[in-house]
């Protein structure tokens, strides 16, 4: 019917452009479907089957081919790897990670960084391959967010001039504090040995308006003795299922809920207390859930033994305390082995660098998993990305 309508319009208006454009659009569509059909059939033939494709399969194959071709091309275009250290106020960000598949993309740290890197390096997003040490949630701050990315050509002065360019283009709530050229084996998240989060709590009758976006305010003072005892119960290797929220993104779901807390302490400050937590990796919202329990212990609502009951599964997840607000949490520090910055050492050692990192983390080198933590991973298999 559409073709007939176009022909009638062309007959009424003479040799119109619409009559000539329709066969061209139709031919283009047919060519795209045919190409997607050939790609899909070729892939199925490698597996020993070559079924006929439905129209829906044609659409899926077309989208898949469009996504795969740029990634395949991006791999050989990645020649030089760099790492930048970012600090940001998370109040106006929807988290670190880019919101893929969102109709109206929300502002993220990764999106802001990629916007500036594409202007400064000329590389496309697929080539950059941006990855951060921590996928902080909405409202969470950072002063040591290390991020790696790739470039096609070497940056001037080993990338040191990039810092001024980034700070000139990025908004005022995010800043670059360091730039390093790194070996291909470096991975911001998987190469990290320890990550330190700090949660700031202000206590007292009056809220400090200058800290309302960076610290949780409580009217009552916390019992430091009960708080310290509860913190000590978190240290060591435990199953933190009761302190993890579910993740909608299947690709980011953790395969195991066992984590090792190297340090969990409560330190007094002039305005209240700061909770310090160090670990090779965390589950999704684990730190905020831990702080929620610690606040209840410090305020006398539950005893420190509540932490043990939650870790041992004696208390159902539904009865676990609510997570503390995001604005008090800061990604404070990240520890890397010194050799991941050494270009010559990594060039000599090759893939053995991954094994050395696993051994330093205390992970059995024969163990492999695809853990993708959001407050980020422990036990992930190391591969160059």
Question: Would you name the residues annotated as active-site residues?
Answer: 137
What phi, psi does 229 have (nearest 5°)? -65, -40
Q: Round to whole Å and give the CA distance between 74 and 68.
A: 10
Q: Nearest 5°: phi and psi at 2?
A: -65, -40
How many angstroms separate the CA atoms of 229 and 280, rounded? 22
**Other CB atoms within 10 Å distance of the CB of residue 74:** 18
Degrees to nearest 5, angle at CA 328 with 246 and 263: 75
- Residue 197 and residue 238: Cα distance in Å, rounded? 18
Cα(348)–Cα(207) distance, rounded to whole angstroms?
55
* Residue 228 to residues 46, 204, 243, 307, 317, Cα–Cα distance (Å): 60, 19, 18, 12, 23
Helices (H) and strands (E) in the chain, counts: 11, 11
d(CA 372, CA 113): 21
């Amino acid at each position: 019917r559409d073709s007939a309508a176009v022909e009638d319009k062309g007959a009424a208006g003479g040799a119109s452009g619409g009559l000539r454009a329709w066969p061209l659009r139709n031919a283009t569509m047919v060519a795209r479907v045919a190409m997607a059909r050939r790609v899909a059939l070729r892939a199925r033939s490698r597996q020993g089957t070559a079924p006929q494709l439905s129209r829906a399969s044609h659409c899926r194959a077309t989208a898949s081919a469009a996504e795969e071709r740029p990634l395949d091309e991006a791999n050989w275009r990645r020649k030089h790897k760099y790492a930048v250290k970012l600090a940001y106020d998370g109040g106006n960000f929807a988290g670190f990670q880019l919101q893929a598949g969102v109709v109206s993309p929300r502002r993220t740290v990764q999106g802001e960084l990629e916007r500036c890197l594409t202007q400064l390096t000329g590389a496309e997003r697929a080539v950059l391959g941006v990855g951060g040490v921590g996928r902080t949630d909405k409202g969470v701050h950072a002063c040591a967010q290390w991020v790696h990315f790739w470039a096609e050509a070497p940056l001037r002065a080993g990338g040191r001039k990039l810092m001024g360019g980034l700070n000139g283009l990025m908004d005022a709530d995010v800043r670059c504090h360091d730039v390093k050229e790194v070996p291909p084996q470096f991975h911001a998240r998987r190469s990290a040995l320890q990550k330190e989060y700090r949660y700031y709590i202000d206590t007292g009758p009056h809220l400090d308006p200058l800290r309302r976006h960076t610290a949780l305010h409580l009217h009552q003072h916390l019992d430091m003795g009960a708080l310290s005892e509860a913190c000590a119960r978190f240290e060591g290797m435990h199953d933190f299922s009761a302190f993890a929220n579910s993740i909608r993104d299947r690709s980011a779901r953790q395969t195991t809920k066992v984590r090792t807390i190297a340090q969990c302490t409560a330190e007094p400050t002039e305005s209240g207390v700061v909770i310090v937590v160090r670990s090779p990796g965390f589950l999704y919202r684990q730190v905020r859930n831990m702080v929620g329990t610690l606040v209840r212990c410090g305020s006398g609502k539950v005893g420190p033994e509540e932490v043990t009951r939650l870790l041992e599964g004696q208390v159902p997840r539904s009865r676990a305390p609510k997570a503390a607000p995001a604005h008090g949490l800061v990604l404070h520090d990240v520890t890397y082995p010194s050799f991941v910055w050494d270009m010559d050492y990594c060039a000599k050692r090759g893939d053995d660098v991954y094994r050395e990192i696993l051994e330093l983390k205390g992970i059995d080198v024969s163990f492999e998993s695809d853990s993708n933590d959001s407050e980020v991973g422990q036990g992930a298999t190391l591969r160059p990305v």
